[in-house]
Amino acid sequence: MDRIFRAILELRTGSDNAFTQEHRKRGCPDLTPHNELIRYRRLKAGETLQDAVILVEAGRLHSAVNRIYYALFYEVSALLLTKDLSSSRHSGIKALFNEHFVKLGVVSTHTGRFFSTMFEFRQKGDYSDFVTFEKDKVSEWLVMAGESIKEIEGIFK
């Protein structure tokens, strides 16, 4: 966790720190705090998607919808960092993703729409009363999230 805080500090200050210098000495010139943050968010996306699987199996559908959205969010925010793009607001992340990846055809419109849809469902599930989700539908979204993350992972290769 300490490395993540250092990575965030590095992004804010823009200077080389001991963390970056040590990795370069070890022969990892591309393992900068910026790249470490991208890697961390991608790992977090995978872990969060796994959490969603457990929650669906347990019938905790509101929480599963939340985790499905956040798995996508972490993967999308990692992708945006590859172009030095970020936002402090979820709507900003969504807009940047659409502008720089979906509209340019780098990511499919299906994935772009799905990310927007999950944003809306996460909002409803977290902030609205008496919202229910069907297990079959949430299970379908779980599969779609895995496919969307896999599509985005292909861009990193």
Could you tell me the CATH number of the domain that includes residue 42? 1.20.120.330
Residue 74: name the closest of 3, 2, 10, 4 by CA. Answer: 4
Distance CA 118, CA 107 (A): 16
Length of the chain: 157
Of the two residues 77 and 13, the one the predictor is more confident about is: 77
- List CB contacts of 83: < 8 A, sequence separation 6 or more: 100
Backbone angles phi, psi at 122, to 5 degrees: -65, -45
Chain-centroid distance, C-alpha 112: 13
Which amino acid does the sequence have at 45? A
At 3 the pLDDT is 46
At 34 the pLDDT is 87
Distance CA 23, CA 138 (A): 41
pTM over 0.75: yes
Which amino acid does the sequence have at 116? S
For 8-38, write each residue's pLDDT tens digit: 434 333 444 444 455 555 655 566 888 999 9
Here the tokens at position 2 are 């300490």
Which residues form the domain of 146?
Answer: 2-156
Mean pLDDT throughout 87-108?
Answer: 97
At 28 the pLDDT is 59
Mean pLDDT throughout 85-90?
Answer: 96
Does the pLDDT at position 85 exceed 70? yes
Confidence of residue 97 (pLDDT cuts 50, 70, 90): very high
At 157 the pLDDT is 75
Percentage of the chain exceeding pLDDT 90: 77
For 100-146, write each residue's pLDDT tens digit: 999 999 999 999 999 999 999 999 999 999 999 999 999 999 999 99
> Could you give the C-alpha distances from 108 to 69, 77, 118, in angstroms and in order?
17, 16, 16
Q: How many domains does the chain have?
A: 1
> Could you give the C-alpha distances from 109 to 46, 51, 86, 124, 148, in angstroms and in order?
22, 26, 20, 23, 11
Could you write out the three-class secondary structure of 80-138? Answer: HHCCCCCCCCHHHHHHHHHHHHHCCCCCCHHHHHHHHHHHHHHHHHHHCCCCCCCHHHH
Do residues 118 and 125 touch, judged by C-beta distance below 8 A?
Answer: no
Mean pLDDT throughout 57-63?
Answer: 97
